[in-house]
Amino acid sequence: MTRVLLIEDDPAVRRGVTLGLRRRGHETEAVGTGEDGLMSLAACPPDVVLLDLMLPGMSGLEVCRRIREISQVPIVILSARGDDVDVVVGLEFGADDYIVKPASDGVIEARLRAVMRRLAPSQPVAGTGDERTTHGDLEIDRVALRVRKRGAELALAPSELKLLLFLSAWPDQTFSRQQLLEQVWEHSYYGDSRLVDACVTRLRAKTEDDPRNPRYIQTVRGFGYRFGPL
């Protein structure tokens, strides 16, 4: 059973999403403010957070930022507009995925299950059987799901970890954003390339000495990304 923390100020949406998740077997706690959400997270940590951006008082973006200061729990944004700049900012703040409202119970559950699967892949993500690999200053342990830089462990969100696992398993091979969406986010449709770009930006900030001149995740202009230490 997955424990979901829903932070949503609209009572009708909150009630509908909660009922839908509970019908599908998920333990769900629903609160209406960011402050209450942070208190709930501290008191009883959930498996995943479903976060509305338009909250009274403390905004959803601020909630996302504060969660990331203390936890790598998966965060899925709820947004009424798919092209809202706040969604992009939320992804840059550390959210793992987003859902455009209104969304069916099935879509919400599918996204939550996908983001949870990123936490514990049962085998190496891609084409290497090596349990532990070293790339420059980075050591990637595919069994323990840990990444270290110069011996210090990095705190990576689920999407960041799975993206790094996937790309590093295929060094020097270029993948389009759509291919990465399908492999990492399990999205089979187009239009979500900002998920990939935001995740790459966050990964570079954590893995690179100079994120503006990356050694590890290289941009292949006009196509996508590749992994290859310089």
Radius of gyration of the chain measured on its C-alpha atoms: 18
Q: Average pLDDT by consecutive 10-residue portion of the chain (230 residues)?
A: 92 94 94 96 94 92 93 89 73 87 88 77 48 88 90 90 91 91 75 82 94 93 85
- CA-CA distance, 4 to 62, in Å (whole number)? 19
pLDDT of residue 110: 87
CATH class of 132-227: mainly alpha
Q: Looking at residue 83, what is its pLDDT?
A: 66
pTM of the model: 0.75
Residue 120 is predicted with a pLDDT of: 56
Residues 41, 24: contact at Cβ < 8 Å?
no
Q: What are 226's strand-pairing partners?
A: 174, 218
What is the residue-wise DSSP string for 106-162? HHHHHHHHHHHHTT--SS-SSS---SEEEETTEEEETTTTEEEETTEEP---HHHHH
Give the pLDDT confidence score for residue 36 in this predicted structure: 97
Q: Which of 215, 127, 216, 223 is nearest to 174 (CA)?
A: 223
The residues spanned by each domain of the chain are: 3-117, 132-227
pLDDT at res. 188: 63
Equal fold, 3-117 vs 132-227: no
**pLDDT in the model for residue 111:** 87
Fold for the domain defined by 3-117: Rossmann fold (3.40.50)
